[in-house]
Amino acid sequence: MALRRHHLHGQFEVAARHGERRTGYELTGLPPGARRIVLAGNPNTGKSVFFNAMTGLYVDVSNFPGTTVEVSSGRFGKDVVLDTPGIYGVSSFNDEERVARDVILAADIVVNVVNASNLERDLFLTLQLIDLGRPMVVAVNMVDEARRLGLQIDFARLRDLLGVPVVPTVATRRQGLDEVRRMLDAARPGRPDPVTEALVARAGELAGLGEPPSDRAEALLMLEDDPQVLEEYGAGPTGRRDEVYGRRRERVEAMVATVVGRTKARLSAADAVSRLTLHPFWGTLILLAVLFGLYELIGVLAAQKVVGFTEDHLMRGHYEPWVRRLLGSLLAPGGAAETFITGEFGLLTMTVTYVVGLLFPLVVAFYLGMSVLEDSGYLPRLATLVDREMGRIGLNGRAVIPLILGFGCVTMAVITTRLLGTSRERTIAVALLALTIPCSAQLGVIAGMIGGLGLVAFLLFFGAIGTVFVAAGTALNRLLPGLSSDLFIDLPPLRLPRLGNVLQKTWSKTVMFLRDAGPLFVYGSLAISLLRVTGWLDGIQGFLSPLTVGWLHLPREAATAFIMGIVRRDFAAAGLTAMSLDAAQKLTAMVTVTLFVPCVAAVMVIYKERGPAQATVIWLSSFAVAFAVGGLAGRLAELLL
Amino acid sequence: MNLSDARPGQVVRIGRISDARARDQALRFGLSEGSTALCEQALTGGPIVLSRGALRVAIGRRLASRVNIQVIPRRRGRREG
């Protein structure tokens, strides 16, 4: 069995030719005769563990609805298995649903994974999938947990009611997986609801079109007023979504009443902890403990201890001298080639050192922490806990996720702002990320520099950044028109993360991040070397000296650090660390650098996500705010330190 | 009365949800107009946590104030549904 994980971006092609299915994607490069088996289910049903068990590969297992945005695929015998983001229903409420919908519509067989303890919720999607008419197998997963909760499920009855094979499973222990595998050949379209069926037949007429879509799934989505399907067909809303959803909900309730028997339910320890996480006092305490744990892992262990060894000792101490010696005979000393390849900002020196010695340990530590948080189910509780406070800056609790992710990598965090409900919230979150959140690469440097300055400096630093965060958020909330969306999220059960899952997830995310960020480091180093070779670096230093020397009270060379900071903020932070500065200057430098423009990669993503106008405003105001606040903090520091 | 007025421990019957998007999402989660749920927690000035069977959802306060409810006098035990 070929065990290769590949991402489908680029392998999916929109089938947009006239007369063909308009919604959905075609999977290209399929082996002849291979079936497309698509896993679909609600978040936290163990779908990804399932995927992993089927293909022998691992993909995200995440608890926060919406963090598995990418679609992964793997070989399964001669077939191809595709994993989809966890969804509560098929439509286009958000990015995940659109992705899942398109992959499901392209499926030959849908394996619907449902959580045995939560059939009331999960069967809604099951019935919708049946109404969509694709051949299906239902895997009722985590039956052990349901048994512990005192639920008895009549699987034979459920199979009869749904009209498709139903298999009880415990994916984490690989129980029932062989049965699912066998049942793939028995997959068949289930028993659709006759009332909905009759409406589907009239979907075209109800939407103001003559003919209904020839694809039954598209006809159903049209009936349910899926905005994208309506638009593609140039159809008007049918106004029947409530009716269809309501009817489906009633059928789920009736079905659950027939197939689920309840004995006594008991409150588990996880339930008790779950409540504590939302308690005003204990919840805050737990949050502080979580943040402290993350700081110890990323800020102390990775950024100081590990990086101290890998960057200073391993890379600067051994690797760089070695590569310079190796190429010394080939490159003329002081020449342009030497500057580009093995110079201070060289491709084989600084770039490699930064990626391997600095970024790699930080990114591993960050994703390790995030994976534990995601798999434990804590993140949605955190979103609930902070919802009220986030409301003051025009966001709802869910926005805490991109903001936390920003401490790992602002670029990635900007992409995850898509999970926010409105464009207004995305603007606020992106602006705050760009302005105030230092990424992991930078955090380490800042922690090292501020740590040595004492409590007053520490408070000044956080006071300055915190003030900008609150002020910018409040101002944007006042200025931007419209209202932000409301929090309405599912709180999955708290679980102890599985070590294997956490490690594999950390690894796959790290590799993806480095693959994306690596080239940017190369471009950044080339750009700086170019400025140096042409002599522009010196000119810019002189031009900026009124700002750097006059206002920030920093040495003239600080300008170089800031120019480097345009490429990546941590370049700037690292450059400033190398200068001899007094306490007040150090504080000024760190405040300015933290508020400084995000790295080129982040700016490009902001440009793509928010458009040129917003991206330019955000970028330019980052400069202004960074220098203004940095200078003010410096004046205070001169008085206090 | 509205969901934002619900107190922890109360079993409520959900009435009209005036926000269409929230109504659809509630149906998917398993909360329809007319269904009952337990108010597990109400964060001061913040979200309301409702549970029904194994389902647990958090609803922001502003949205909760647009959901009509009726408090059901509790009978025996703490089963809801």
Q: Does residue A271 sit at the B interface (CB-CB below 8 Å)?
A: no
Contact A491 B21 (CB under 8 A): no
Q: Bridge-partner residues for A114, per DSSP? A: A140
Residue B9 in any domain: the answer is yes
A225 contact residues in B (CB cutoff 8 A): none
Name the least confident of A28-32, A553-557, A614-618.
Answer: A28-32
pLDDT (mean) for A420-445: 87
Tell me the shortest Cα–Cα distance from A254 to chain B, in angstroms.
Answer: 12
Helices marked H in A546-599 — which ranges? Answer: 558-567, 569-577, 583-595
Burial code (b: 16+ CB inside 10 Å, e: under 16) for A315-326 equals beeebbeebbee
Q: Is residue B78 part of a domain?
A: no
Q: What's the rounded mean pLDDT across residues A375-386?
A: 92
pLDDT tens readout for residues A598-622: 887 788 878 878 889 999 999 999 9
Cβ neighbours of A243 in B, within 8 Å:
none
Looking at the predicted structure, is the pLDDT value of residue A24 above 70?
A: no
Domain of B29, CATH number, reads: 2.30.30.90
Work out how many domains chain B is built from and give that number. Answer: 1
Residue B43 domain boundaries? 3-72
Average confidence (pLDDT) over B13-34: 88
Amino acid at A326: L
What is the ipTM score, two decimals?
0.92
In a domain, B58, yes or no: yes
> pLDDT tens digits, residue range A239-287?
899 899 999 999 999 999 999 987 665 567 777 888 899 998 999 999 9
Tell me the pLDDT of chain A averaged across its residues: 84
Higher-confidence residue: A226 or A523? A226
Tell me what percent of the residues of chain A surpass a pLDDT of 70: 92
Residue A164's pLDDT band (cuts 50, 70, 90): very high
Q: A66-70, A489-493, A497-501, B71-75: which has the highest mean pLDDT? A: A489-493
Per-residue pLDDT, A21: 39
Is residue B64, in this structure, part of any structural domain at all?
yes
Report whether pLDDT(B65) > 90.
Answer: yes
**Contact at CB, A245 and B25, closer than 8 angstroms:** no
Q: What is the CA radius of gyration of chain A?
A: 27
Q: Is residue B44 part of a domain?
A: yes
- The answer to whether the beta carbons of residues A443 and A298 sit under 8 Å apart is yes
In a domain, B66, yes or no: yes
For residue A77, pLDDT over 70 is answered with yes
Q: What is the pLDDT of residues B38-52, one digit of tens each?
A: 999 999 999 999 998
Decide if pLDDT at A127 tops 90: yes
**pLDDT reading at A341 higher than 70:** yes
pLDDT band for B70, please (50, 70, 90 cuts): very high
pTM for this prediction: 0.83
Mean pLDDT in residue range A468-472: 96
Q: Is residue B39 part of a domain?
A: yes
Chain B residues within 8 A of A120 when measuring between CB atoms: 30, 52-55
Domains of chain A from N-terminus onward? 6-191 (3.40.50.300), 280-487+498-640 (no CATH)
Nearest CA-CA distance, residue B35 and chain A, Å:
10
Once rounded to an integer, what is the mean pLDDT over residues B21-26? 88
Given pLDDT bands bounded at 50, 70 and 90, which one contains residue A68? very low
Pairing of the two strands A151-153 and A260-262: antiparallel
Residue A23 pLDDT > 90: no
More confident residue, A449 or A107: A107
The whole-number average pLDDT for the span A286-306 is 85
Q: Are B13 and B73 in contact (CB under 8 A)?
A: no
**Is B37 inside any structural domain?**
yes
Q: Is the CB of A384 less than 8 angstroms away from the CB of B29? A: no
Mean pLDDT of A71-94: 82
Partners of residue A46 in chain B, C-beta under 8 Å: none
Which residue has 């220098």 as its token pair? Answer: A627
Q: What whole-number distance in Å separates Cα of residue A630 and Cα of residue A626? A: 6
How confident is residue A6, by pLDDT bands cut at 50, 70 and 90? very low
pLDDT tens, A36-52?
999 999 988 888 788 87
